[in-house]
Amino acid sequence: MTEIKSELNSELSTELSSITISTSSSAEVAADVRFADFGLSDDILRALSDQGYVHPTPIQAAAIPVVLEGRDVMGAAQTGTGKTAGFSLPIIQLLLAHANASASPARHPVRALILTPTRELADQVAENVKAYCKHTPLRSLVVFGGVDIAPQTAALRAGVEIVIATPGRLLDHVQQKTINLSQVQILVMDEADRMLDMGFLPDLQRIINLLPKARQSLMFSATFSQEIKKLAATFLRNPLTIEVARSNATAENVTQILYQVQEEEKRDAVSFIIRERNLKQVIVFSNTKIGTSRLAVHLVKTGVKAAAIHGDKTQQERMAALESFKRGEIEVLVATDVAARGLDIAELPCVINFDLPYNAEDYVHRIGRTGRAGATGDAISLFTEKDERLLADIEKLIKQKIVRLHLAGFVATKLEPHGLREPRSSGARSSSSGSAEVKNDRRVAPRSYASTPKIDPWFLQPYQPTASTLPVAEKPSVTSSSGKPAKRAALLGGFSKS
């Protein structure tokens, strides 16, 4: 099943800060290993059977027994190898001891907290957790921003054992005192490196301080830098490091291709690739929000059903685009890296990097959207001369050279440069007074024609004051027979008594 490089007894393993379990590929997992071999409950096994899952992936085979033992874990595996089930299944098994059908919220405190960097990943994890525990009394809830907080508050007050959340919205609930984290037994950080890259470190520290000291902590991601490992050492207790395949590796069943084009040709190149390959479902990644929107508009104009998702879109718009893409109503989903984590599209045949990512590790996550669960896929990247440094960083990270190919048959649409005009005929003369003439290979200054400016006679007339500038004669005051000023009707309040 899993090749353990160092076989140690339990007494020796407790003295070490970390033990590494490595597996090279899914082929090393024995065909006769089943989820039932891990001692999971019948309710969980029935849910797995409903999903069609029988054999675990390498990360699941390595992580599930360790998590069931109560150990802290750092799990690194290729994107698409089933990390979510690797931690959610043992969590559900451990919490079944507290499962009950009581209607009292006090009997359903938050016992497991799963943190994710993006809303899309949180929603994806929540769907998996809900599917795995649908035959159990356990309750789960996803909490993220961009949507109405009231339904989330109502569900939290009713009681829920498993919460999947983004850090920002979770702290909103903490501030409003709608969630109590004092009974959390298991903390999971999914895509922990991405959370740190997005600046969630202060929020993570605040959340960790709210949790009990005696807890089980798990970190799962497709990539683990040395900085992440140093940070993990501050709150993980004697963690077991589980690495499936080489760290920061890409899946072997994903074919990586590079096409070099000019910057102004990239949009046409994407349209050409989609038409030539007859792609009906593809994710195209761009580095910027405005670039994402412009590319989606360009594809729609060329007859491709496309939609864009990025940080400026509302959560409802992003979720609607994702659902349309999953149903096949949209052929191309143009996205920033906000969608590069956690999206699980069944049998996605291809991803295209319109821009090479600034962070080399994001390349691993992007192309991990295809070739999932043992399927094959293509990862196509466009690059220009200015992307050589980014490409070098990517190849250094994945420790392999990406195949460079020529985009055969591609002809970019040539746009007329702004400011150019049609050439004049040889006998035509310029009608502009400011143009120069050329005689005998000499440039001659343009001719100037003196003309008498027309003056409006009105400006030559002497000054005459208008009626509005004449002094206004004072009107004589009206007095009564007694010599006092006559009283006048007041508009409001009547006359003063004085």
**Domains of the chain and CATH, by start:** 10-244 (3.40.50.300), 254-405 (3.40.50.300)
Q: Which pLDDT belongs to residue 257? A: 92
Task: Among 98-102, 117-121, 136-140, name the one with the lowest average pLDDT.
Answer: 117-121
Q: Is the pLDDT of residue 473 over 60?
A: no
What's the predicted TM-score (pTM) here? 0.64
Q: How confident is the model at residue 292 (pLDDT cuts 50, 70, 90)?
A: very high
> What is the Cα 36 distance to its own chain's centre?
36
Nearest to 371 by CA among 394, 354, 400, 347: 347
Query: What are the residues facing 381 on neighbouring strands?
Result: 258, 353
Task: Among 26-40, 156-170, 370-384, name the one with the lowest average pLDDT.
Answer: 26-40
Q: Which pLDDT belongs to residue 59? A: 85
Dump pLDDT digits (tens) for 48-60: 999 888 889 888 8
Residue 216 has φ and ψ, to the nearest 5°, of: -105, 130
Task: Among 58-72, 98-112, 338-352, 411-425, name the one with the lowest average pLDDT.
Answer: 411-425
Pair of tokens at residue 352: 């295209």
* Backbone region of residue 70 per phi and psi (left: phi > 0; alpha: psi in -120 to 50; beta: other values): left
Pair of tokens at residue 258: 């590079």
What span, in angstroms and rounded, lies between the C-alpha atoms of 269 and 306? Answer: 15
Q: Is the pLDDT of residue 437 over 50?
A: no
Arithmetic mean of pLDDT over the chain: 79
Residue 211 has φ and ψ, to the nearest 5°, of: -90, 155
What span, in angstroms and rounded, lies between the C-alpha atoms of 132 and 95? Answer: 13
Q: How confident is the model at residue 403 (pLDDT cuts 50, 70, 90)?
A: confident
Q: How confident is the model at residue 227 (pLDDT cuts 50, 70, 90)?
A: confident
3-state secondary structure the chain: CCCCCCCCCHHHHCCCCCCEEEECCHHHCCCCCCHHHHCCCHHHHHHHHHHCCCCCCHHHHHHHHHHHCCCCEEEECCCCCCHHHHHHHHHHHHHHHHCCCCCCHHHCCCCEEEECCCHHHHHHHHHHHHHHCCCCCCCEEEECCCCCHHHHHHHHHHCCCEEEECHHHHHHHHHCCCCCCCCCCEEEEECHHHHHHCCCHHHHHHHHHHCCCCCEEEEEECCCCHHHHHHHCCCCCCCEEEEECCCCCCCCCEEEEEEECCHHHHHHHHHHHHHHHCCCCEEEECCCHHHHHHHHHHHHHCCCCEEEECCCCCHHHHHHHHHHHHHCCCCEEEECHHHCCCCCCCCCCEEEECCCCCCHHHHHHHHCCCCHHHCCEEEEEEECHHHHHHHHHHHHHHCCCCEEECCCCCCCCCCCCCCCCCCCCCCCCCCCCCCCEEECCEEECCCCCCCCCCCCHHHHCCCCCCHHHCCCCCCCCCECCCCCECCCCCCCCCCCCC
Dump pLDDT digits (tens) for 451-472: 555 677 766 777 666 655 555 5
% of residues, the chain, pLDDT over 90: 42
The more confident residue out of 441 and 383 is 383
